[in-house]
Amino acid sequence: MIRRYIFRILLYCCLSSLIYAGVALAVVYKYEKGLPSFERLEQVDPAQTTNIYSRDGVELKKFWVQRRDPVTFDRIPQAAVDALVSTEDQLFWRHWGVSLPDIFRVVLRNIWVTGSLKGHGASTITQQLARNIFLTQDQTWQRKIQEQLTAVLLERTYTKREIIEMYFNQMLFGNGAWGIQAAARRFFGKDVEGLTIDECALLVGLLKGPYYYSPIKYPKRAKDRRDGVVLRAMRRAGRISSAEYRSALQRPIILKQHGEETGEGPYFTEYIRQYLERTHGLEVLYDGASVYTTLDSRLQRAAEDILLKRLDEVQILVEKNWKKNPPDSTFWAGLKTREDSIAATTLQGALVALDPHSGHILAMVGGRNFETSKFNRAVQALRQPGSAFKPFVYIAALKRSFPPTLKLADTAVSIRMEDGTFWQPKNYDKRFLGWMTMREGLAGSRNVVTTQLVQKVKPRSVVRVAKDMGIKSRIGAYLSLGMGTSEVKLIELVSAYGVLPNRGIRVDPIAVLKVIDKDGNVLEENIQGQEHVALSEELAAVATSMLSSVVSMRAGENHATLTGTAYYGTRNQGFRRPAAGKTGTTQNFADTWFVGFTPQIVTGVWIGFDSKVSLGPRMSGATVALPVWAKFMKKAHETLPVEEFELPPTVPRIEVCRDTYQVASIYCPKKYYEVFMPGTEPKTPCPQHTTRGLQLMPTKAKKTPKREYQF
């Protein structure tokens, strides 16, 4: 009898096993098309963040579609693991992907409460992971069966620790944070290792509804779920003690103060983002690439601090000017809203610093505040450069064999235009200083002298020089060209000036040194920008010498008759290195500039209003923009050795007479050294100061002593 019962039990078990196996095979056969392959299971590869780094190794910015910073299991706090298992899947460490006891429990509960098999619950951690990675969120029986089968496959492919690690790296915690590390940074401003028990409980509580339980939008809901669900589950499961439970309940939710996460150098990193999207596409930009840039984070911080402080100072001065001389009614009429008025009356600025030899962008500031205005004035804004355009005129003149000693009259002139009208250019100071050399005309930024040069060399020659040196914006070939009436971009102007310290070679500005994708493949690698021969080495050297007078020339020193427009501005800021550059101011004081360089760095600064309203009388480039340039360059050169501008051996350097500008003789009372383009140097001695021309002072005849002779 006993044998018969044992036989029947075994028979029933075998039949049940066959039936269950048949049902399982039928289910797998029916839904296998929706299941991931083992190959896909072994290559779970969540989207990652792309990291942007400075040249000195500082992380500047992250780009993401799903912001995710993967962490290993060892970095995840035990409290987070305990909170997850206690709340979502208490049998996680014992089941094989699907928890049958939980399924029966939830089915009975749903029937008892709702009278239906439909309802939520019973999904294990592995099932949730399977649904999140491979399946949809559709509430259907087919998806549920596929979810369970996929969970079983996951359990066969990965260890429990690996599943927990993937879960915490994969899930959405809300507010753009995918994964527990991104959530820790987003909500608490710390790495995952530093999370406390209550913070872990809060983050696990968000998983049920990242938006509904958001501690930013709904702090009470988030705290109620943390305390009433997660912490209570941890206490019941014995994962935390009663003392830890009570302590965690008492802790308020303290979130990191959050604005837009612009990172460091936001205008520069946005410039990088646009470049990556244009060059490599979205699949690289938003999927775990590492991008190494040319930016120097120390110079970037200095540039931002110095420029923003100066903008605040100048804003106060401008507002004082406006109280006396407010903008006309047409300006205010165009402003429809309060936001328009704020934008139009908020002073803006931009700064770009380059290495002239490699084209590396060392610093870039595109405006006062990236959060309120994404417009990058360093690379997007077209503005009139004013006198900062004059160097191209003088370089065109040097190219036409005009020597720096060429004398021009700084006097009232009337120029007949093509339409028959007459144009009378005026100087910034409304004065005329008489005859002066090209060097003095450039150093003193004399508009009349520059206009005469444009007449002599022709506007098209100036345009050609500017284009060769890197100006890509459209330039009108007009006589007013020397006053900077054609609009350009700051980065173009800075790059063009960089031709001079680089011995006539133009190097295209670059921002990216290397791009490495998530698999370690190098997609792009650069050492420097592309080179172009813009000027001869001799021409670059002579032009540099002339522009150095803008910074170093002072009236009365070395027989100079006027002072360079940047002399006092650089001295007042304590910047005394060998340097060259040019101030720039538009006619209505709407744009102020200074672009200058040393042998190591070329930097340009622009300050003005987006609305192009005037800053007020006397608000020139030397007054407004130059202090920013001088302070920044002083900071940038703190760790750099002092270098002089090198003069090629082919450039004649001759001592000339200050009166005749011919080769000085020993009799010339005033003389100085001047540089010339080869073949344009004076070859004859000064005809005025010679022995023949000397006027000797009459001397009194010496009295002959009386002598007595004896015969």
The verdict on whether 674 is a catalytic residue reads no
Question: Rounded to an integer, what distance in angstroms lies between the CA atom of residue 678 and that of residue 654?
Answer: 11
For 21, list phi and psi in degrees, rounded to 5: -65, -40
67, amino acid identity: R
Rg of the chain over CA atoms, in angstroms? 38
Report helix, strand or coil for 104: helix
425, amino acid identity: P
- Residue 208 and residue 180 in contact, taking contact as beta carbons nearer than 8 Å: no
Q: At what angle do helices 537-552 and 390-399 cross, to 10 degrees?
A: 140
Residue 182: count of CB within 10 angstroms of its CB? 25
- Residue 675 and residue 438 in contact, taking contact as beta carbons nearer than 8 Å: no
Question: Rounded to an integer, what distance in angstroms lies between the CA atom of residue 332 and that of residue 330?
Answer: 6
For 606, list phi and psi in degrees, rounded to 5: -125, 140
Report which of 561, 557, 570 is spatially closest to residue 622, judged by C-alpha positions: 570
Report helix, strand or coil for 81: helix
710 membership: H or E segment, kind and range:
none
For 240, list phi and psi in degrees, rounded to 5: -135, 155
Report which of 226, 377, 234, 363 is spatially closest to residue 300, judged by C-alpha positions: 363
Catalytic-labelled residue, pool 387, 548, 552, 665: 387
Query: Cα 696 vs. chain centroid, distance in angstroms?
Result: 68
The DSSP line for 335-379 is --SHHHHHHHTS-EEEEEEE-TTT-BEEEEE-SS-TTT----TTT
The DSSP line for 565-598 is TTHHHHHHTT--SS-EEEEEE-TTS-EEEEEEE-
Residue 380: count of CB within 10 angstroms of its CB? 16
For 282, list phi and psi in degrees, rounded to 5: -70, -30
The verdict on whether 59 is a catalytic residue reads no
Report helix, strand or coil for 673: strand
Could you tell me whether strands 50-53 and 290-293 are parallel, antiparallel, or unpaired per DSSP bridges? Answer: parallel
175, amino acid identity: N
Question: Rounded to an integer, what distance in angstroms lies between the CA atom of residue 347 and that of residue 368?
Answer: 8
Catalytic-labelled residue, pool 54, 86, 88, 123: 88
With a CB cutoff of 8 Å and minimum separation 6, the contacts of 158 are 41, 166
For 428, list phi and psi in degrees, rounded to 5: -60, -40
**Buried/exposed 581-610: b ≥16 CB within 10 Å, e otherwise:** bbbbbbbebbbbbbbbbbbbbbbbbbbbbb
Among positive and negative, which fits the CA dihedral 530, 534, 538, 541?
Answer: negative
Q: Which residue has the tokens 């040097």?
A: 398
Report helix, strand or coil for 87: helix
Structure tokens at 499: 């031709």
Could you tell me whether strands 415-416 and 505-507 are parallel, antiparallel, or unpaired per DSSP bridges? Answer: unpaired
Q: Which residue has the tokens 């003193």?
A: 444
- Residue 508 and residue 495 in contact, taking contact as beta carbons nearer than 8 Å: yes
Burial (CB count <10 Å: 0-12, 13-18, 19+), residue 321: middle
Question: Rounded to an integer, what distance in angstroms lies between the CA atom of residue 629 and that of residue 621?
Answer: 10
The residues carrying an active-site annotation are 88, 387
